[in-house]
Structure formats: C-alpha cells, structure tokens
C-alpha cells in the first residue's frame, strides 16, 4: 500500500492547490486563509473552515506534514501589482508589510516543521532575475532552499527550473 502524504495549505484561497493534491490521494491536515470570503468558499468546497491569519498561528499549532503548499499573494511582486503600488506611492516586494512578508511566514514554518517538499506559487519577479527584492540567507535561516519550477507552453518559454540555497 502506498503512503498517503500529508500536506498543509497556507494562504489557501478557495482551495485550488488542495484540490490538486487531494486528487493525488494526499491528505490535508491544516489550512490557513485570512480572507473571510475565501474561507466561506473553502468551507463550502472542503467542509472545513481554514484557520485565520498565519502570522498569529504558532508553528506548534501546525501538525506534522510531508508537503507544504503556500499560495502566498503575488501582488507585492507581480509586474502589475508593483506598477499599481508604485502609482499609489505604496511599498511593494518585501517592503509591503501586509502581503510582502508572508513569504517569511512560510519560511518560518518550513524551518520549524521541516517538510519533505514545498510548493509555492511561482512568479518570476519574486525569485527570478527581475526580483524587486530578495531575502538574504540570514532572513531565511540556514538550510532553507527553494525550487522555482516553471514550464514551457506551446514552445513559448515562460520560465525555468532553479534551485537556490540559503
């Protein structure tokens, strides 16, 4: 019998990543989403309400898991999000204290729980060559690494595979 992998769903939205992993027979053991409308839809989809703001949840409250899913907001890093924030005179990237620092919450949980695999929402301006800011190894903690997985679509290159070590 194959092992059933356990995963957590951070910045869960309405559960798109969870749906994909459950179709692969993985089991969700924890979810977190702060937006109440998204929580309502998530509850309708999965019959459970995600925990709220991850910044207020201690790592000890999160069950042991094999896979960490983190669909953190891309607005502070995306080209259109940065453009909008610039036009409004607001900070972006890791300087955005509301959404831009959520990456560090995922890093905290990875450091504390040591899941075997991590999957985050990929967008090139966060960790790619056009990054608005990059966290240092000291900010991430030693041994934390990230894979950036991209794909090819119809012969059009829109990403690459990259592994970085802190």
How many CB atoms neighbour CB 70 within 10 A? 23
Backbone angles phi, psi at 47, to 5 degrees: 60, 35
C-alpha 77/C-alpha 85 separation (Å) is 10
* Catalytic-residue membership of 74: yes
Instruction: Output the six-digit token pair for 83.
Output: 């453009």
- Catalytic-role residue among 26, 28, 74, 126: 74
C-alpha 55/C-alpha 73 separation (Å) is 14
> Annotated catalytic sites, by residue?
74
């Amino acid at each position: 019998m194959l092992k059933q992998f356990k995963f957590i769903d951070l910045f869960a939205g309405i559960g798109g990543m969870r749906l994909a992993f459950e179709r692969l027979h993985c089991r969700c053991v924890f979810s977190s989403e702060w937006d109440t409308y998204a929580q309502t839809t998530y509850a309708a989809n999965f019959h459970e309400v995600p925990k709220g703001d991850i910044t207020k949840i201690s790592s000890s409250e999160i069950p042991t898991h094999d896979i960490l899913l983190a669909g953190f907001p891309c607005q502070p890093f995306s080209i259109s999000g940065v453009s909008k924030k610039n036009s409004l005179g607001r900070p972006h990237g890791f300087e955005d204290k509301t959404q831009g620092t959520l990456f560090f919450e995922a890093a905290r949980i990875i450091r504390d729980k040591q899941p075997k695999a991590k999957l985050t929402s990929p967008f090139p301006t966060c960790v790619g060559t056009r990054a608005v800011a990059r966290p240092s190894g000291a900010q991430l903690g030693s041994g934390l690494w990230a894979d950036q997985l991209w794909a090819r679509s119809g012969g059009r290159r829109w990403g690459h595979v990259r592994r970085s070590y802190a």
